[in-house]
Amino acid sequence: MNDTILRKKKLRVTPFRKEVLKVFLKNDHAISMQDIENELGDFDRITLYRTIKSFINKGVIHEIVMPGDIRKMALCDQVCDHDSGLHDHNHIHFQCKKCEEVFCVEIDKIPEIKIPGFQIEEQEIQAKGICEKCSGS
């Protein structure tokens, strides 16, 4: 699976890229750079930052900045194609107030917002509350 994602996004398949991608694939929520570093063990920090930048640029992952400058990253949907300009996400970013995890939650349609005199090119919706796991549902 790792090889397929990397090839589809026109990235060279390397053992390190496969390891970084594996970290994203095993999490059902967005993760921080610290989470990735903790998971990898022994690695070259510069190679990791270059890998993350390549993953963002090619649409493998997307960066999420929540209030309080909380920065996390999550896998892009398989239909996300950065090369053709379709690096779009029809989801909201939900942060649990208990466990503090950030989840990408799919929605059918993002509401259209119009602001007179402005042309909106991107919009991001963020929500906070209690996730399923923490609410016991």
pLDDT of residue 124: 79
Give the pLDDT score at 1: 67
pLDDT of residue 13: 95
131 is in an annotated binding site: yes
- Residue-by-residue pLDDT tens, the chain, 137 positions: 678 899 998 999 999 999 999 999 999 899 999 999 999 988 999 999 999 999 999 989 998 887 777 789 999 875 455 554 444 556 788 899 999 888 888 877 777 888 999 998 877 788 899 999 998 86
Name the fold adopted by 2-132: Arc Repressor Mutant, subunit A (1.10.10)
76 is in an annotated binding site: no
Please tell me the predicted confidence (pLDDT) of residue 35.
Answer: 93
Residue 99 in marked binding region: yes
Query: How high is the pLDDT of residue 40?
Result: 94
CB 75 within 8 A of CB 58: no
- The reply to whether 104 sits in an annotated binding site is no
